[in-house]
């Protein structure tokens, strides 16, 4: 039979052409949808309203702390404190602040100097000039260098705010003159400012911990050092660690319960194991309901019933995932190889032995790998459920962000959360490899 090469070629080209058109129209549809989404989400307005300075504030504040030098215009007194906190006030001003009577000179380095004299101040800014300001009962009067006023300098009748660099800021109001100088690092991370351990080096601490002379009569020194750190009021290490523990508990308990409740139910829902069709139908619908109601709604219901805490989160995870894992396990059971079961039966094994040696070994890998996979993803879910109000690290993070007192604390919580989530992820991957392949 003669082969019509030209016809075959035409046909092939036609098919390829059809495919190309399909591909192009799919790409066009996606692009069109994204254009629609662009307007539905109102991207231009969002970009207009975005507060990029917030990102900068969070970025700098998260890795730095500031020391406030404040002159109170009413009491005419100076106060130097970390982050302006009453509990962290220096008894003697640090060496970059020189106070002499009503006058003070604050050295902000690189030529930036603030001289305060009573209720007036002079701020020397290299490359710009000298900003002078005086506060009195009528407001703030400023005397600026000639030329265009830069963006970082805000002058209002009652306030002057100069921030020539991120790390240097001077504010003058009727009540006070306030100078901020930023330092890199987290302040008072180990011990509270007032603690006698505050400015000790690691070596000194070691000597102290091993020495017999007790700082606190009630306990050995190592315990005292640990407790001073653990109960540090600025960082609340104890609360953060307990919150992390709660989040891990939610994930672990929720996943364990879901797998161990899901497995027996899966047998009832699998076509080849279920004792009755009616039962199978109802168990499958139960899985659908548990999954369909979703973790969000389950958490809200459980928060109402059980209040805050790991139990609430664990139950919300357990309910949702019993549905998901049950469905997955029942599908795995329906797909098992019957030959293995027959083989076990041929040796005269009882029903239980058939399950134990014919069925369980076949679904064990699915059971383990899916449970571990959900354990990992539930650690992330647990942070979100926590933020809904169930507690744990999620709630702590939302609350710390809302009060926005200190971004270092937010950064600390974020870092620890990421570390824990990545740790659980690696643990689950490692266990999966170990248990299934090894």
Partner 1 sequence: MATASIEQEIHRIEARRRLYSGILLIVVAATMIAGFLEASRMNSGSFFGGLKQFWDYPGEIVIEAWQSGTAFFGLLVHFIPALVETINIALVATIFGGLGALVLSFLASRSLEVWPPLIPVVRRIMDVTRAFPELIIALFLIFVLGGGPIPAMIAVAFHTTGALGKLFSEVNDNVDRKPIEGLRACGASWLQRMRFAVIPQVLPNFLSYFLLRLEINVRASAILGYVGAGGLGTELRRTIGWGQGAGDETAAIFVLLILTIVAVDQLSSYLRQRLTRSDRAH
Applying CB under 8 A, which residues contact partner 1? 30, 33-34, 37, 40-43, 46, 49-52, 54-55, 58, 246, 249-250, 252-253, 256-257, 260, 288, 291-297, 300-302, 304-312, 314, 376, 380, 383-385, 387-388, 394, 397-398, 401, 414, 417-418, 421-422, 425
- Residue placing its CB nearer to partner 1 in the complex, 41 or 241: 41
Q: How many other C-beta atoms lie within 10 A of the C-beta of residue 279?
A: 12
The two structure tokens encoding residue 366: 């699915």
Residue 236: HSE in the Cβ half-sphere, 13 Å Cα cutoff: 14
Q: How far is the CB of 2 from partner 1 (least distance, A)?
A: 26
Rounded CA-CA distance 403/409 in Å is 11
User: Would you state the structure tokens that stand for residue 160, as one six-digit string?
Assistant: 């002057």
Nearer to partner 1 by Cβ, of 171 and 428: the residue is: 428
Least separation, in Å, of the C-beta of 313 and partner 1? 8
CA–CA separation, 258 vs 314, rounded Å? Answer: 10
Burial class (CB in 10 A: 0-12, 13-18, 19+), 343: middle
3-state per-residue secondary structure call for 402-415: HHCCCHHHHHHHHH
Closer to partner 1 by CB, 336 or 385: give it. 385
Of 77, 65, 92, 66, whose CA–CA distance to 176 is shortest? 77
Q: How far is the CB of 302 from partner 1 (least distance, A)?
A: 8
Instruction: Dig out the tokens for 365 from the structure.
Output: 């890998």
Cβ atoms of 223 and 354 within 8 Å: the answer is no
Q: In whole angstroms, how close is the CB of 413 to partner 1 at the nearest point? A: 9
Tell me the C-alpha to C-alpha distance, in Å, between residue 230 and each of 64, 187, 235, 400, 423.
22, 15, 9, 18, 22
**In the complex, least distance from residue 422 CB atom to partner 1, rounded to whole angstroms:** 5
- Comparing CB distances to partner 1, the nearer of 121 and 424 is 424
Q: Measured from the CB atom, is 162 or 393 closer to partner 1?
A: 393
The nearest distance, CB 85 to partner 1, in angstroms, is 23
- In the complex, the smallest distance separating the C-beta of residue 4 from partner 1, rounded to whole angstroms, is 23
How is the beta sheet containing 129-136 ordered, strand by strand?
Answer: 97-100, 103-107, 113-117, 120-125, 129-136, 139-143
Dist CA 99 CA 96 (whole Å)? 10
Give the shortest CB-151-to-partner 1 separation in angstroms: 20
Exposed e or buried b for every residue in 41-74, given b needs 16+ CB within 10 A? eeeeeeeeeeeeeeeeeeeebbebbbbbbbbebe
Nearest to 411 by CA among 60, 166, 162, 73: 60
Comparison of 98 and 364: residue with beta carbon closer to partner 1: 364
Nearer residue to partner 1 within complex by CB, 69 or 248: 248
Nearer to partner 1, 145 or 292 (CB): 292
CB of 25 to partner 1, least distance (A): 16
378-406 exposure pattern, b = at least 16 Cβ within 10 A, e = fewer: bbebbbebbbbbbbbbbbbbeebbeeeeb
CA distance 302 to 317: 11
Q: How far is the CB of 304 from partner 1 (least distance, A)?
A: 4
Rounded to whole angstroms, the Cα distance separating 72 from 70 reads 6
> Which of 234/376 has CB closer to partner 1?
376
Beta carbon nearer to partner 1, 46 or 100: 46
């Amino acid at each position: 039979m003669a082969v019509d090469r030209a016809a075959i070629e035409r046909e092939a080209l036609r098919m390829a052409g059809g495919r190309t058109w399909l591909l192009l129209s799919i790409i066009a549809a996606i692009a069109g949808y994204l254009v629609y989404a662009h307007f539905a989400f109102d991207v231009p307005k969002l970009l207009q309203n975005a507060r990029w300075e917030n990102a900068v504030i969070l970025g700098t504040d998260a890795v730095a702390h500031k020391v406030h030098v404040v002159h109170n215009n009413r009491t005419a007194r100076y106060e130097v404190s970390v982050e302006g906190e009453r509990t962290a006030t220096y008894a003697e001003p640090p060496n970059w602040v020189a106070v002499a009577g009503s006058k003070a000179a604050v050295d902000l380095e690189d030529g930036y100097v603030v001289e305060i004299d009573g209720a007036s101040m002079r701020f020397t800014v290299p490359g710009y000039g000298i900003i002078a300001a005086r506060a009195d009962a009528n407001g703030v009067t400023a005397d600026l260098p000639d030329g265009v006023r830069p963006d970082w300098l805000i002058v209002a009748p009652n306030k002057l705010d100069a921030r020539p660099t991120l790390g240097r800021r001077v504010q003058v109001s009727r009540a006070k003159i306030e100078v901020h100088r930023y330092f890199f690092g987290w302040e008072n991370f180990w011990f509270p400012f007032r603690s006698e351990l505050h400015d000790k080096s690691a070596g000194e601490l070691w000597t102290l911990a091993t020495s017999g002379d007790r700082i606190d009569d009630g306990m050995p020194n190592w315990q005292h050092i640990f407790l001073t750190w653990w109960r540090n009021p600025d960082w609340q290490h104890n609360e953060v660690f307990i919150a992390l523990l709660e989040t891990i508990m939610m994930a672990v308990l929720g996943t364990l319960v879901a797998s161990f409740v899901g497995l027996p139910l899966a047998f009832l829902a699998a076509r080849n194991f279920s004792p009755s069709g009616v039962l199978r139908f109802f168990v499958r619908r139960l899985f659908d309901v548990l999954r369909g109601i979703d973790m969000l709604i389950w958490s809200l219901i459980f928060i109402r019933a059980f209040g805050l805490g790991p139990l609430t989160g664990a139950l919300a995870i357990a309910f949702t995932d019993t549905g998901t894992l049950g469905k997955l396990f029942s599908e795995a059971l329906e797909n098992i190889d019957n030959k293995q079961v027959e083989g076990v039966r041929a040796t005269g094994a009882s029903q239980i032995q058939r399950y134990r040696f014919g069925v369980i070994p076949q679904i064990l890998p699915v059971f383990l790998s899916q449970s571990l996979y959900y354990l990992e993803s539930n650690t992330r879910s647990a942070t979100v459920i926590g933020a809904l109000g169930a507690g744990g690290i999620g709630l702590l993070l939302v609350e710390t962000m809302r009060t926005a007192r200190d971004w270092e604390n937010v950064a600390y919580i974020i870092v620890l959360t990421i570390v824990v989530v990545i740790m659980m992820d690696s643990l689950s991957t490692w266990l999966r490899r170990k248990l299934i392949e090894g």
